[in-house]
Amino acid sequence: MPALPQEVRLADLRQLTFGGENAEAYWSFDGRQLSLQARLEGMGCDRIYRMAVDVQGATPTLTPVSSGKGATTCAHFFPGDQEVLYASTHLGGEACPPRPDHSMGYVWALYDTYDIFKSRADGSGELTRLTETPGYDAEGTVCGKDGSVIFTSVRDGDLELYRMDKDGGNVRRLTHTPGYDGGAFFNADCSKIVWRASRPHAGKEADDYKALLTKGLVRPTKLELYVANADGSEARQITWLNAAAFAPFFHPNGRRILFSSNHGDPKGREFDIWAVDVDGSNLERITHAPGFDGFPMFSPDGKWLVFSSNRATAQGRSDTNVFLARWVEDAKPAETAETAVERIKRDVTFLAAPEREGRGIGTGGLEAAGQFIEQRFQTLGLTPAGDGGSFRQVFPVTTAVKQGPATQVTLGGKVLPADAFTVLGFSAQNAVQAPLVFANYGIVEPSLKVNDYALKRGAKGKVVVVRRFVPDTATFADTDKQRRFGDLRYKAWVAARHGATGLIVVDWPEAPTPAQKDWRMPPEAALPGLSPEGHGDAGIPVVVVKRAALEPLMDALLKGKQVDARLEVRLDFEKRDAFNVAALLPAGEGKLPGTVVIGAHYDHLGMGGRFSLSPDRHEAHGGADDNASGVAGLLEIARSLAEQRGQLKRDVLFIAFSGEETGVLGSTYFTRQRGDAGMKGITAMLNLDMVGRLRSGGLNVLGAESAGEWGPLIAAACEKARVPCNSSGDGYGPSDHSPFYAAGVPVLHFFTGAHSDYHKPTDTVETLNVGGTSRVASIVSAVALALDGTTALTYRTVPSPAPRGDMRSFNASLGTVPDYAGPPEGQKGMLLAGVRAGGAADQAGMKRGDILVRIGKHVIGGVEDLMFVLNASKPGETVKAVVFREGKEVPLEVTFQESKRPR
């Protein structure tokens, strides 16, 4: 029988069974057989069968595998195709268990006598029992690589997924969220799993679910699809159909999933096969026949699809039968309207493409990204809100720091050629002449019992020479210590703290290997001066010298002989214009005063460099999650609110910020240009930063304590979007909402969580959950619409964990909030965007706008200096601090508090 004209993915459709209820037909790993369950005429419950399949041949015959005792379900071949897995109730009795009571509605039975068994594929021999715990164990499928089994069980009181070895050993739980998790399958290489799940809301839904579960029943009316790593980690929802979705199966390419659902049928009776990408995009209807189509499974080579259907046969029967069809990969489905998910994926794909060069400051890729956003705002009919009637708000950014022509390094009376050294961007600009002293790796850390400055000659008044990196010992084996103590800015701070007048860094391992022979430019020298940890110099000249240039002097230096050095550093700062992209959506009738700002940053790390977490990889850091996802969400919100403008009660200002990765420069510039008076006209700021990886843990809504009224608004928006949300925190943090909160504006930061690809080239489009980003966009839109004057937001300052700048502190905390754009031109110190309520700085009398220039005996040249001071200080310690306020130095007394790690 032919497929229907709309079923363009199916060709050479052929019916394999005739009569009865035949379902869950699953391929053998060699693609020559099917296992299935069938209830034929006269049978009270399902029995397991297998059939040989010749895709070109005659109708196959069913061969029994199970004994006919009890009910059986979910048969799946093991690798090698000589054994079959299935669940059976026969140990609880040879008769079929009673059917579920459908007077309670459509429910599935969870027979507590179901256990999972292994059988020979021909049904001969004894069954091997793989599960023995009380209660329901069923819905098992098999990994083609090692034969391990994923299955559903109630052994811990809920319907969860578990994985066990092929012999039933080594059982481990994969899911932990209340609700039904079942019907799971591995992808071809067993690195991922897909399954169906229900997530009943707390209250009546959850109570009804638990009540049914105690009766061995589940109501599968609302099931969505989830994908995770094979160990259950990184679980994420990929459909929000608000319907029954089940029987998901991976395409062999691992990028697409077929499943069955009654999505689109208001009565919920018509089930068809659908397809969706693993990121939640590209939803496509595959079958269109009246009735039921389900349980799709690809042959191992992806060329054939087997599924169950009760579509009318030539004999006019409407039993459920197994059908086989050739899969048409390159078919062109009927065009459908583009959805929010597809628009978001398209936008992220453009922004994160290698051609965008990682959207680094000063790159053509960032310019192209800005133009793209401008064009989208214009297409949406928004009003330009930048400079001079344009969409752009331009601000200057330092893009490079270069050695001036007067820069010179002299060692042992010999002037080094210009290619033998490089100056770092945080170097002080002055000339010093002094003897050299060697301080090994330049590390001082009492907790590690390391003090490289325990020198006979001392470092005071000397130019200190230190090695790059950290010692190759167990003490410094972990990555955190390597980054912290190998950081060149840290080495410079330690040198200045010990009275050095200059610092020379040399790439000189204690035991060089051939691979380490060549000198390597430190990442700090690639684009120096662009630290997102703050601005300001280290107080002393800092240069990195080639090993070959220092080698003739090292013997004398190591023996303590005097070698004189002269360092003169002059720097030229290269500035370029960056720009925010700003557009206004005026409210409709009954407009209220106060503007809602919705923002996201569109810059990233360019080709990597110092702040990449893969510093050795000079390639485009696409930042698909960070923060192409936020910009794509911003554009979708703009589209949505423009369509609902009649309901909008406040003007909405959409801003795509630049310079976020180099110290929230764009958002800081916006708030400074607006001024305190202008900021009073902003009702709220909603920030989307890293919203591309929504997982089962839900959406993090940070800043929820910045206004006491946020809670109900967030809860309502998340409930409407059917997304669990975790709300917490004040309005400070390392993103563009922080300057707004510091200026007195209630804020929210929408964030789907950290991940191992952060600030790496591996943050790519393929890793995203764009369906989840669409849900986040709908939540932000709902919050913006809810700011309709019914609820007035009240700005709050609340104590909370230490901010960025303090966040690496393992000892003391000050409670300052740095302004990463830095003090006015030419001034040194750390500009305060704010202070945390009740923190040490607040109690000492520090204020927003102060410039912190000294803590105790330490000069503060920028955020990193403060970080180092805090790491070397203890809670309860009281020191003198100096801030520059209104043109005058103001001495203050500050008592450090205990540091808290950020939540």
Q: Which CA distances in Å does 513 have to 474, 477, 516, 518, 602? A: 19, 18, 5, 10, 42
CB proximity list for 691: less than 8 A, separation 6 or greater: 625, 629, 630, 633, 699, 750, 751, 752, 772, 773, 776, 777
Mind listing the pLDDT tens digit for each residue in 280-302? 999 999 999 999 999 999 999 99
Beta strands in 366-423, from DSSP E residues, in sequence order: 383-384, 392-403, 408-411, 414-415, 421-423
Q: Which CA distances in Å does 384 have to 366, 380, 391, 803? A: 19, 11, 4, 34
Residue 533 has pLDDT above 50, yes or no: no
Residue 900 has pLDDT above 60, yes or no: no
User: What is the structure's pLDDT at 315?
Assistant: 53
Average pLDDT over residues 168-177: 97
CA separation for the pair 484, 807 (Å, rounded): 13
CA separation for the pair 759, 490 (Å, rounded): 21
User: What is the structure's pLDDT at 536?
Assistant: 58
Mind listing the pLDDT tens digit for each residue in 661-702? 988 999 999 999 999 899 999 999 999 999 999 999 999 999
Residue 715 has pLDDT above 70, yes or no: yes
pLDDT-based confidence at residue 520 (cuts at 50, 70, 90): low
pLDDT-based confidence at residue 403 (cuts at 50, 70, 90): confident
User: What is the structure's pLDDT at 46?
Assistant: 95
Residue 899 has pLDDT above 50, yes or no: yes
Mind listing the pLDDT tens digit for each residue in 433-460? 999 999 999 999 999 999 999 988 899 9
Q: DSSP per residue over 268-304, as a string?
A: S--BEEEEEETTS---EE----SSBEEEEEE-TTSSE
Phi, psi angle pair for 249, to nearest 5°: -145, 135
Average pLDDT over residues 518-537: 47
Q: Among 98-107, 133-142, 309-318, 390-399, name the most confident range.
A: 133-142
Calculate the dihedral angle through the C-alpha atoms of 668, 671, 675, 677, rounding to the nearest 10 degrees: -150
Residue 810 has pLDDT above 90, yes or no: no
Average pLDDT over residues 845-857: 93
Residue 806 has pLDDT above 70, yes or no: no
Distance, C-alpha 204 to centroid of its chain = 32
CB proximity list for 864: less than 8 A, separation 6 or greater: 426, 489, 490, 493, 531, 533, 534
pLDDT-based confidence at residue 862 (cuts at 50, 70, 90): confident
The rounded mean pLDDT for the chain is 91
pLDDT-based confidence at residue 865 (cuts at 50, 70, 90): confident
pLDDT-based confidence at residue 522 (cuts at 50, 70, 90): low
Q: Which CA distances in Å does 742 have to 171, 402, 679, 749? A: 51, 33, 10, 14
Residue recorded with tokens 């910009």: 631
Average pLDDT over residues 712-737: 94
Q: Among 58-67, 311-320, 434-443, name the most confident range.
A: 434-443
Strands 595-601 and 682-688: parallel
User: What is the structure's pLDDT at 237?
Assistant: 97
Average pLDDT over residues 861-876: 87
User: What is the structure's pLDDT at 313?
Assistant: 60
User: What is the structure's pLDDT at 615?
Assistant: 78
Mind listing the pLDDT tens digit for each residue in 331-387? 999 888 899 999 999 999 999 999 999 999 989 999 999 999 999 999 999 999 999
Which of 896, 868, 867, 865 is closest to 880 using CA atoms?
896
Residue 655 has pLDDT above 90, yes or no: yes
User: What is the structure's pLDDT at 518?
Assistant: 53
pLDDT-based confidence at residue 191 (cuts at 50, 70, 90): very high
Q: Over pLDDT 70: what percentage of the chain? A: 94
CA separation for the pair 697, 827 (Å, rounded): 45
Residue 774 has pLDDT above 90, yes or no: yes
Q: Under a CB-based contact definition with an 8 Å cutoff, are residues 47 and 63 in contact?
A: no
Q: DSSP per residue over 110-141, as a string?
A: --TT-EEEEEETTS-S--EE---SSS-EEEEE
User: What is the structure's pLDDT at 616?
Assistant: 79
User: What is the structure's pLDDT at 798?
Assistant: 65
CB proximity list for 217: less than 8 A, separation 6 or greater: 100, 104, 107, 108, 109, 110
Q: Among 106-110, 509-513, 563-567, name the most confident range.
A: 563-567
Residue 531 has pLDDT above 60, yes or no: no
User: What is the structure's pLDDT at 521?
Assistant: 55
Q: Under a CB-based contact definition with an 8 Å cutoff, are residues 434 and 502 in contact?
A: yes
Q: DSSP per residue over 535-595, as a string?
A: ----SS-EEEE-HHHHHHHHHHHHTT---EEEEE--EEEEEEEEEEEEEEE---TTPPSSE
Residue 35 has pLDDT above 80, yes or no: yes
Mind listing the pLDDT tens digit for each residue in 547-579? 889 989 988 988 889 999 999 999 888 888 999
Name the token pair of 662. Answer: 């180099």
Mind listing the pLDDT tens digit for each residue in 592-648? 999 999 999 999 999 987 778 887 788 999 999 999 999 999 999 999 999 999 999
Backbone region of residue 663 per phi and psi (left: phi > 0; alpha: psi in -120 to 50; beta: other values) = left
pLDDT-based confidence at residue 248 (cuts at 50, 70, 90): very high
What is the Cα gyration radius of the chain?
Answer: 33
Q: Under a CB-based contact definition with an 8 Å cutoff, are residues 763 and 690 in contact?
A: no
User: What is the structure's pLDDT at 530?
Assistant: 34
CA separation for the pair 4, 2 (Å, rounded): 6
Count the residues in the chain.
903
Average pLDDT over residues 47-55: 92
Name the token pair of 330. Answer: 């390159």
Average pLDDT over residues 173-200: 97
User: What is the structure's pLDDT at 807?
Assistant: 34
User: What is the structure's pLDDT at 559?
Assistant: 87
Q: Over pLDDT 90: what percentage of the chain? A: 75
